[in-house]
Structure 1
Amino acid sequence: MFTKSDITRQSIIEKSAPIFNTKGYNATSMSDILQVTGLTKGGVYGNFSSKDEIAVEVFEYSIGKLKDALRFKVKKENTAKNKLFAILSFYRNYSIKPLTEGGCPLLNTAIEADDNLPFLKMKAQKALDELLGSLEYIIQKGIQTNEFKADLDAKKEATLIFSVIQGGLMMSKLSDDPKILNNLLEGLKNSIESQYLN
């Protein structure tokens, strides 16, 4: 059962998430958080010790939404190939229709936290490892069930797929052109069809 404090805390996280994901950590001020939550400083600091703590919780919340949505799409499919295709389909038009306001929380956080926010970089690294691990698991399962070729390097292929998705997403956002990402996703799909299957 949730306490009033739990509900307030979760509300702060959910309402702050779009600001952090759109403006970034450095550009998000406590005034922004107070404005969007409608709370006083005491109301926010009664639930969080600092902006850093809010940022970490916001990232966990946003990346959790992403992982849950991906898991939901993947679980509907029965074959490794279709699970990979479900992931590619999930990211189609993602640069203009992201799941979370402001775009991909992993990409946004990784770029901003790389050099000067070690506490957020650590969280982004963990999320990256989990997403790569899930991709690798799907490919490995495809190899084990003889759906995919035995000589595939599951770890290498998972890294390639995710790098192309994230790179395409960055390029599409920067260029305001969703076709860049979509064309890369189509290329990955063709590659899976032609190089993975037995």
Structure 2
Amino acid sequence: MFTKAEKTKQFILETAMPLYNTKGIAGVSIDDVLAATKLTKGCLYGHFQSKDDLSEQVIDLSLRKTADQMRLAVYTAKTAKAKVSAFLDFYKDPIQTPIPGGCPIFNTAVEADDSYPLIKQKVAATIKAGQQELTQVLEEGIQNGEFSAKLDAKVFAFKLVAAIEGGLILCRALDTAAPMHALIKSLKAELNQYKP
């Protein structure tokens, strides 16, 4: 059971998450969060030491939530090929994302690059963990005979992540999911070339 204070803190984080994902760390003000939560400044600062503290915790939550949702989609699949397919399909709609504003991993990575070194490290850790997991899935596929040993799991995992993240931002800028569908189809076809 959560205490009332824990529930309030979680409410603040959940409410602030779409604000941060659409406006960015620098674009969100404490007043924005207060207006969205309808809480007082005293209440907000009872849970967070500063805007930086709030920002870090909101970003932690959004990165964790995105990674958890993706893992849930991937790890319900049984085979390595189905897991890679589930990973790709998770990103098939770049316009209607689970957290409004697009992919929090990409959004935060771009903004944190030079301005927020601690947050940049958190994003880097999330990206590395995702690539390692995808690499392991591909390696499992090689070991169990789904994919040929010619497949370089590490390079292909990087390619998948880079293509999907790039596709997300381009599709959002163009306001269409169609290129993402074509990209996913192409990546799946490329992976199929590694059948033993």
Paired residues of 1:80 and 1:138 also in contact (CA < 8 A)? yes
Match of 2:195 among 178, 194, 197: 197
1:41 aligns with 2:41: yes
1:77 aligns with 2:77: yes
In the aligned structure 1, how far is the partner of 2:32 from the partner of 2:118? 21
Paired residues of 1:34 and 1:40 also in contact (CA < 8 A)? yes
CA shift digits 1:125-148 (9 cap, x unpaired): 111111111111100111111211
**Letter paired with 1:24:** G
In the aligned structure 1, how far is the partner of 2:35 from the partner of 2:118? 25
Match of 1:161 in 2: 160
Match of 1:59 in 2: 59
In the aligned structure 2, how far is the partner of 1:28 from the partner of 1:166? 23
TM-score (norm 1): 0.95
**Letter paired with 1:136:** T
In the aligned structure 2, how far is the partner of 1:85 from the partner of 1:53? 37
Q: Could you say what the CA RMSD is over the residues aligned between the two structures, in angstroms?
A: 1.1
TM-score (norm 2): 0.96
1:175 aligns with 2:174: yes
CA shift digits 1:53-105 (9 cap, x unpaired): 11111112112222222222222211111110111111112x21101111100
Match of 1:15 in 2: 15
**Letter paired with 2:49:** S
In the aligned structure 2, how far is the partner of 1:128 from the partner of 1:72? 17
Paired residues of 1:21 and 1:105 also in contact (CA < 8 A)? yes
1:65-144 to structure 2, matched below 5 A, reads 65-93=65-93, 95-144=94-143
Paired residues of 1:56 and 1:123 also in contact (CA < 8 A)? no
| Partner secondary structure for residue 46 of structure 1 | helix
Structure 1: runs of 5+ lacking an equivalent: none
Paired residues of 2:102 and 2:168 also in contact (CA < 8 A)? no
In the aligned structure 2, how far is the partner of 1:180 from the partner of 1:151? 28
Deviating above 6 A after TM superposition, structure 1's stretches of 4 or more consecutive aligned residues are: none
| Partner secondary structure for residue 150 of structure 2 | coil
In the aligned structure 1, how far is the partner of 2:61 from the partner of 2:29? 19
Displacement of 1:165 after TM fit? 0.3
Match of 2:150 in 1: 151
In the aligned structure 2, how far is the partner of 1:91 from the partner of 1:190? 17
- What percentage of aligned pairs have identical amino acids? 39
Structure 2: runs of 5+ lacking an equivalent: none
In the aligned structure 2, how far is the partner of 1:53 from the partner of 1:134? 29
In the aligned structure 1, how far is the partner of 2:148 from the partner of 2:50? 50
